[in-house]
């Protein structure tokens, strides 16, 4: 729990309130960390970056925890932080890629625990997912990868459940068109 070490370094003397906040965030961490790393990894395609994003999200959750009135919404809150940080990570990554030499290999070496071979159809689906709008992608990933309900997605993205339905439907339609098009060529 690197996030706790970072927060402890920022606040060397803990108050009773700080200790209660730490326990609260620690409980959320233990319950959600694996799911959040997987979520960040989908958007970043970088295990180390995904772990860094999740650590930063928990640091932010700790700092905001005294302002969270409804603790049941904390998972949605930290999930939305992860999504926003993943988008920022990708934007920064795109900027740095523009300045790299075109001949440099851009992929990090595969870690032993990451040596899961993608089938061709998995790659096609992920490529199609990358080509739909960001909001559609967010809704589809939260719905089908994290298996969240429409209301949980709505809470995470701060949109209405009807918007979630619309984005999922349109995203699936767009992906179907993209996948059909890839088989026609």
pTM over 0.75: no
Q: For position 36, what pLDDT does the model report?
A: 94
Q: Is the pLDDT of residue 5 over 80?
A: no
Residues of the chain with CATH 1.10.10.10: 118-185
Confidence of residue 112 (pLDDT cuts 50, 70, 90): very low
User: Is pLDDT above 80 for 51?
Assistant: yes
Question: What would the mean pLDDT of 140-169 be, rounded to a whole number?
Answer: 92
Tokens of 142: 């939260």
43, 53 contact by CB (below 8 A): no
Q: What is the CATH number of domain 118-185?
A: 1.10.10.10
> 48 pLDDT exceeds 90?
no
**What does the H/E/C string look like for the chain?**
CHHHHHHHHHCCCCCHHHHHHHHHHHHHHHHHHHHHHHHHHHHHCCHHHHHHHHHHHHHHHHHHHHHCCCHHHHHHHHHHHHHHHHHHHHHHHHHHHHCCCCCCCCCCCCCHHHCCCCCHHHHHHHHHHHHCCHHHHHHHHHHHHCCCCHHHHHHHHCCCHHHHHHHHHHHHHHHHHHHHHHHHC
Mean pLDDT of the chain: 79
Q: What is the pLDDT of residues 62-101, one digit of tens each?
A: 888 888 888 888 899 999 999 999 988 877 764 343 334 4
Q: How many CA atoms lie within 13 A of 155 on its CB side?
A: 14
**Model confidence at 150: pLDDT above 90:** yes
Predicted confidence (pLDDT) at residue 2 exceeds the cutoff of 70: no
């Amino acid at each position: 729990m690197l996030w706790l070490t970072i927060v402890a370094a920022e606040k060397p003397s803990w108050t009773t309130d700080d200790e209660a906040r730490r326990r609260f965030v620690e409980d959320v961490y233990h319950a959600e960390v694996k799911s959040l790393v997987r979520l960040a990894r989908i958007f970043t395609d970088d295990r180390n970056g995904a772990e860094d994003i999740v650590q930063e999200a928990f640091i932010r959750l700790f700092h905001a925890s005294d302002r969270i009135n409804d603790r049941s919404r904390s998972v949605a809150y930290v999930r939305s932080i992860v999504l926003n940080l993943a988008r920022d990570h990708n934007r920064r990554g795109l900027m740095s890629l523009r300045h790299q030499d075109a001949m440099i290999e851009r992929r990090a070496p595969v870690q032993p625990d990451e040596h899961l071979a993608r089938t061709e159809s998995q790659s096609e689906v992920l490529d199609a997912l990358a080509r739909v709008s960001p909001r559609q992608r967010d809704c589809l990933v939260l719905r089908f990868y994290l298996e969240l309900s429409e209301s949980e997605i709505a809470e995470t993205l701060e949109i209405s459940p009807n918007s979630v339905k619309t984005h999922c439907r349109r995203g699936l339609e767009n992906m179907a068109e993209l996948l059909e098009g890839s088989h026609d060529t």
